Structure 1
Amino acid sequence: MGGVVERTDLGRGDDPLIGRVLDGRYEVGQKIARGGMATVYQARDLRLDRTVAVKVMHSGLADDPEFVSRFEREARSAARLSHHNVVSVFDQGDDRGTLFLVMEYVPGLTLRDLIRKDAPMDPGKALELIEPVLAALAAAHGAGMIHRDVKPENVLLADDGRIKVADFGLARAVNAETQHTATGGVLIGTVSYLSPELVVDGKADARSDVYAVGVLLYEMLTGVKPHQADSPIQVAYKHVHEDVPAPSLREPALPAYVDALVARATARDRDLRPSDARVLLHQVRRVRQALDHGVVEDPELYADLMPGVRPIAEDTGEVTGELEREDRISILGADDVYDQDREVTTAMPPSGVATAVPPRPPQNLAHNQPPRVVPPPVVADEPRRFQQPKRSRRGLFLLIGVLVTALLVGISAWQLGRYTTTPSVISLSQSAAKAKITKAGLTFKLGKAEYSEKYTKGSVMDTDPAPGDKVSKGGTVTVILSLGPERHAVPTVRGKTLEEVQQLIADADLSLGEVTQAYSDLVDEGMVVTTDPKAGTLLKRDTAIDVVVSKGPKPIDITDWTGKSAKQAQKSLEKQGFKVTVDEQFDDTITKGKVISQTPNTGQGVKGDEITLVVSKGPELFAIPHVRGLRTNDARQKLEDAGFKVKVHHSSLFVGANYVVTVSPGEGTMVPKGTTVTINVV
């Protein structure tokens, strides 16, 4: 983690950052890691309600405006590196001078923890773990990025089995800044994993990451680092002058082609290494395939991987194992005593200075063979003789020294005359910056504009060379203008599938957040209902967008209204959203206006479903027929045929004629069938 020495709960202590809310959004929690350049905290994203990791730069770095500018640019580059094996960068900001980076929080262990626990590892397991590391680096190398600080602390092993590489871009940002210091440049890296070229001249490319992975693989296979010494400078010396030993010297059961793989990745001559992580990943897969098939020896694979034989270099200097002028080395955040198990990112001057690196010892034809020992010549004892004193050469040396000094002074004066200092135009408008650069005798060139959270649109956010750097008189200064804050609109997604929405969000340079489900009467099941934030909201790049997917209409419990008021039933069902159909019919037993039956009358439905109510109209009514004047038997027969019951009543004037004179209820009255009709006869 760019200087992280441990991944653990470091406690609150007196840290004023704990409990603080950065940028009004990130509530800082406990420390989880600490290093030479930054401290990492667990934090809560209050806006999206998720756990994140916040890396806060140490104040000494955050106070330098040029570092801040470069750091912001590198943070953007790291954020654009999208790969499942890379720790995602969500945000970057400056809260009242506190420079911070917001990253994906990966709960779990580091590869350092696993090495301490399980190393030496089985080669198959070691290669299985190193593959996702190389996949992450391959993505970076393909995008033109270099990690520069590959080490076990920067390989995170999540609790769910994912493997992620952290800290892309930070070491690069520090390098870009510190290489312009007055001391001639500072080399950032962790000493046990530094490639020889980084130690010698401070220059890195993809092969430097390859070297670090090779060292990492050696450590996983053996449980120890290949180069160990009492001080960082001695370890750096060994990287330059000693090959990484064959892992099989410690673990004899390892196949020779595994030794060859480590030797290829850690070749001191970078031209002999794989050109980038993509090539090394291919080689690792070849070796892993051989291991999976139980291949003990594979001469062809060994020959393909083993780097070429190097000639033995002539060397007459005495090798002591100590580098001169160790005071030129400083460790950022390290303890007074060098502890290789708690190694932090190291700052070292490139050793192009003659006194920085002792004479190179001889390299051997075979990989990892001990140095060839040449015994001193045997001199026979001779009688001591008077020796003529030699003429002093002190004067000659003084003369040479004066001449060399004069030459160096002349060269320095000539160099000084060729260069001038790049003027600072940060925050100026394009026209003001052009005028200032032109006035300094330099050529103004407009570079590709970039987004910036700090600088307003149209103002200068960076220059190349940076302000204060040397530039040839009449040279060109490339100016980078700010596009202002980078914002992207949340796309309209209603009614689309989740897959379509994922693509729309990605096309908008945003990221998919939490996916939840909710009932919707208007959007079909499985389709997206809405987003949070809403469509059209302008957000920073890679901001997470929460998505709500429809579960379809919400189910409604159906109440049985049989035997109850039809009016109340219809009103209640329609209020629930059902479509009610009413069918009326006569019923001799159910009171008029009550529900005879309901379909359906149990279970659940959704809004818009149809429910049919059969409502009673009461009994069916029939008119009493005309029977007055008919003889009693004829009237009885006619009424009974009409469905009525008949009761014969002799009137007070009954004389036996048996004719109907009155009817009760009266003729034409509407009554239900079965009603008793009384006929009065005389």
Structure 2
Amino acid sequence: MSAARIAFTFHHCLGEGGYGEVYLARQLTEGGITREVAVKVLRDQFDDTSQAVKRLRDEGQVLALLSHPVILRVHGFAKVQGRLALVTEYVEGADVSTFCVPENLLPPRIAVEVAREVAEALAYALTVPNPHTGRPLKMIHRDVKPANVRVSVDGKVKLLDFGVARTNEMDRQAKTAMGDVLLTSGFAAPEALGFGVSGPSVDVFALGVTLFAMLTGKQFYRGRDLKFQVTLAMNAVDFAAYLDERLLLVEHEGVRALLHRVLQFQHELRPTAAEIAEELEALHDAMEGPTLGRWARSREWPQQILEGAELEGKSIDTDGQVVSPSQVPPPPRTPTPPPAPPPALGGASSVVPMDARNVSPGKVPSPAAPPPRQTPAPERPAARPPPPPPPPSRSPVMMIGVGIVVLVVLGVLVSVLLAVLAAALYVVA
């Protein structure tokens, strides 16, 4: 049986939810490029007609329309044992939800910087032209929350999970009922809770709740009880009083004032994402403390791994099937080019031919001058070790030298005097 061509090798599971799992994997493209990717694989109970499959397809199509440093980059779709999978860039780091607990809060300046970058991404998604029509996408994320914002180990921010994002420039395959994500407990705006309204102001409100959680380590809606949230969303006076009470937990006066406007009951009174980004930038510049990049690079990032996931450690071929270890092709071997090559550069591996091609002809080491990393004596051709072995043909002088050496050996056997005489003859010659 011929060896299967590997498409993915799954390392470990990064997270799981009701619809599937996300794995860190190594992808080998058809062009031979290897890269680390994140692969979101749906559970096997979902067929092509299910809302889960349609939603994942929607997410891939939405991400393909966007190109922004804060928005996750998509590589494409794949099949894993018949299940749909979405392949995206891998962002090593942690979700912001990790930092929304009192014992692990972000420094206030860092929290403001994270929120500013998310606001910029939301503003971009609203205004960026559709590459096919030229019209603004007016895209709404509709699920902004700490679990969907990730900070990388080098201080980059990524907005994740566009599975329920909406734009009039694209027909969604999946239906997004009000109870699906618009009512994500703890982050839904009053107009979404009370009337099912979905617009840019919903993302603005959710961003405000996310910033509140980053600064305080507490949920904006106390207890995350949906009934309590819906009741509060139906009464503007009660909501205003509740907002004032919760914002007392925010210590920075300027940030507190901004959040008071971002979390207004009436959505038309809230600033836009672009306005929020501008104000957060000004607040950030006036605050003391490290930047996000410096903070991220100075801390340790424990890796989050879920043990025992189904695909952990398995390889998947281009047909989406699990490959047994016997079918996994061995590492490529370096072909032996004719004629006899110069000494190997660093051993026999698949990297050697690429290195050899990249060395200019004038820099290729000659056989007489092997590089320092050459294998020692036993396997090196003996170029000039003393005494030299007799070659097939020599000059007369060299033949005389050989005869003298023979005489010396015989002289030693006869007497010391003859040995001295032979040495003298050698010097004269």
Structure 1's 39 and 67: CA in aligned 2 closer, same or farther, altered over 3 A? closer
1:115 maps to 100
Counterpart secondary structure, 1:25: strand
Structure 1's 160 and 288: CA in aligned 2 closer, same or farther, altered over 3 A? closer
Structure 1's 200 and 247: CA in aligned 2 closer, same or farther, altered over 3 A? closer
Which among 97, 116, 123 is matched to residue 138 of structure 1? 123
**Offset from partner CA, 1:135-182 (integer Å, 9 cap, x none):** 2222222232221111111111222222211112445599863347xx
Which among 26, 29, 35 is matched to residue 44 of structure 1? 26
CA contact 1:42–1:54 (8 Å) conserved in 2? yes
CA contact 1:267–1:273 (8 Å) conserved in 2? yes
The CA deviation at 1:37 is 3.1
Counterpart secondary structure, 1:198: helix
1:281 maps to 277
CA contact 2:192–2:202 (8 Å) conserved in 1? yes
Q: How does 1:302-451 map to 2 (within 5 A)?
A: none
- Once residues 15 and 233 of structure 2 are traced to their aligned partners in structure 1, the CA distance between those partners, rounded to angstroms, is 28
What letter corresponds to residue 192 of structure 1 in structure 2?
G
Structure 1's 56 and 150: CA in aligned 2 closer, same or farther, altered over 3 A? same
- Once residues 24 and 556 of structure 1 are traced to their aligned partners in structure 2, the CA distance between those partners, rounded to angstroms, is 34
CA contact 1:240–1:268 (8 Å) conserved in 2? no
2:194 maps to 200
What letter corresponds to residue 140 of structure 2 in structure 1?
I
CA contact 1:227–1:238 (8 Å) conserved in 2? no
- Once residues 284 and 263 of structure 1 are traced to their aligned partners in structure 2, the CA distance between those partners, rounded to angstroms, is 14
The CA deviation at 1:221 is 1.7
Counterpart secondary structure, 2:100: helix
CA contact 2:23–2:39 (8 Å) conserved in 1? yes
CA contact 2:54–2:173 (8 Å) conserved in 1? no
Counting aligned pairs with the same residue, the percent is 29
Matched, 1:250 2:246: no
1:609 maps to none
| RMSD over equivalenced CA pairs, Å | 3.6
Structure 1's 120 and 555: CA in aligned 2 closer, same or farther, altered over 3 A? closer
Structure 1's 179 and 103: CA in aligned 2 closer, same or farther, altered over 3 A? closer
- Once residues 17 and 234 of structure 2 are traced to their aligned partners in structure 1, the CA distance between those partners, rounded to angstroms, is 26
What letter corresponds to residue 237 of structure 1 in structure 2?
T
Which among 363, 369, 383 is matched to residue 555 of structure 1? 363
- Once residues 200 and 175 of structure 1 are traced to their aligned partners in structure 2, the CA distance between those partners, rounded to angstroms, is 24
Structure 1's 273 and 99: CA in aligned 2 closer, same or farther, altered over 3 A? same
- Once residues 168 and 245 of structure 1 are traced to their aligned partners in structure 2, the CA distance between those partners, rounded to angstroms, is 32
CA contact 2:58–2:163 (8 Å) conserved in 1? no
CA contact 2:264–2:270 (8 Å) conserved in 1? yes
Counterpart secondary structure, 1:178: coil
Structure 1's 560 and 259: CA in aligned 2 closer, same or farther, altered over 3 A? closer
Counterpart secondary structure, 2:181: strand
The CA deviation at 1:264 is 1.3
The CA deviation at 1:78 is 0.8
Matched, 1:167 2:149: no
**Offset from partner CA, 1:5-46 (integer Å, 9 cap, x none):** xxxxxxxxxxxxxxxxxx962334432211233321222213
Which among 155, 172, 183 is matched to residue 149 of structure 2? 155
What letter corresponds to residue 277 of structure 2 in structure 1?
L
Structure 1's 191 and 553: CA in aligned 2 closer, same or farther, altered over 3 A? farther
The CA deviation at 1:210 is 0.9
Structure 1's 233 and 42: CA in aligned 2 closer, same or farther, altered over 3 A? farther
Which among 204, 214, 227 is matched to residue 208 of structure 2? 214
1:534 maps to none
1:3 maps to none
1:587 maps to none
Structure 1's 519 and 37: CA in aligned 2 closer, same or farther, altered over 3 A? same
What letter corresponds to residue 288 of structure 1 in structure 2?
H
Q: How does 1:450-489 map to 2 (within 5 A)?
A: none
Counterpart secondary structure, 1:90: strand
CA contact 2:101–2:218 (8 Å) conserved in 1? no
Q: Larger Cα Rg: Structure 1 or Structure 2? A: 1
CA contact 2:63–2:72 (8 Å) conserved in 1? no
Matched, 1:25 2:7: yes
The CA deviation at 1:551 is 6.0
1:226 maps to 220
CA contact 2:55–2:164 (8 Å) conserved in 1? no
- Once residues 26 and 559 of structure 1 are traced to their aligned partners in structure 2, the CA distance between those partners, rounded to angstroms, is 41
2:265 maps to 268
- Once residues 60 and 208 of structure 1 are traced to their aligned partners in structure 2, the CA distance between those partners, rounded to angstroms, is 32
Structure 1's 170 and 50: CA in aligned 2 closer, same or farther, altered over 3 A? farther
CA contact 1:152–1:216 (8 Å) conserved in 2? yes
Counterpart secondary structure, 2:174: helix
Q: Which of the two has greater strand per residue?
A: 1
Which among 185, 188, 196 is matched to residue 181 of structure 2? 188
Counterpart secondary structure, 1:126: helix
- Once residues 247 and 140 of structure 2 are traced to their aligned partners in structure 1, the CA distance between those partners, rounded to angstroms, is 30
CA contact 2:164–2:176 (8 Å) conserved in 1? no
Unaligned runs of 5+ in 1: 1-22, 294-515, 521-549, 562-590, 592-682
- Once residues 269 and 35 of structure 1 are traced to their aligned partners in structure 2, the CA distance between those partners, rounded to angstroms, is 33
CA contact 1:247–1:254 (8 Å) conserved in 2? no
Structure number with the bigger relative contact order (C-alpha 8 A, sep ≥ 6) is: 2
Structure 1's 291 and 71: CA in aligned 2 closer, same or farther, altered over 3 A? same
Q: Which of the two has greater helix per residue?
A: 2
Which among 45, 49, 55 is matched to residue 64 of structure 1? 49
**Offset from partner CA, 1:453-504 (integer Å, 9 cap, x none):** xxxxxxxxxxxxxxxxxxxxxxxxxxxxxxxxxxxxxxxxxxxxxxxxxxxx
Structure 1's 35 and 264: CA in aligned 2 closer, same or farther, altered over 3 A? same
Structure 1's 50 and 237: CA in aligned 2 closer, same or farther, altered over 3 A? farther
The CA deviation at 1:212 is 0.7
Structure 1's 147 and 27: CA in aligned 2 closer, same or farther, altered over 3 A? same
* TM-score with structure 1 setting the length: 0.37
Counterpart secondary structure, 1:286: helix
**Offset from partner CA, 1:246-280 (integer Å, 9 cap, x none):** 665224x421x3222001111121111123x2221
What letter corresponds to residue 64 of structure 1 in structure 2?
T
- Once residues 29 and 171 of structure 1 are traced to their aligned partners in structure 2, the CA distance between those partners, rounded to angstroms, is 29
What letter corresponds to residue 271 of structure 2 in structure 1?
P
- Once residues 62 and 282 of structure 2 are traced to their aligned partners in structure 1, the CA distance between those partners, rounded to angstroms, is 32
- Once residues 11 and 107 of structure 2 are traced to their aligned partners in structure 1, the CA distance between those partners, rounded to angstroms, is 38
* TM-score with structure 2 setting the length: 0.57
What letter corresponds to residue 188 of structure 1 in structure 2?
V
CA contact 1:171–1:188 (8 Å) conserved in 2? no
1:539 maps to none
The CA deviation at 1:101 is 0.8
Structure 1's 518 and 29: CA in aligned 2 closer, same or farther, altered over 3 A? closer
After TM superposition, the structure 1 stretch with the greater mean CA deviation from structure 2, 112-121 or 133-142, is 112-121
- Once residues 166 and 11 of structure 2 are traced to their aligned partners in structure 1, the CA distance between those partners, rounded to angstroms, is 27
2:83 maps to 98
Structure 1's 57 and 554: CA in aligned 2 closer, same or farther, altered over 3 A? farther
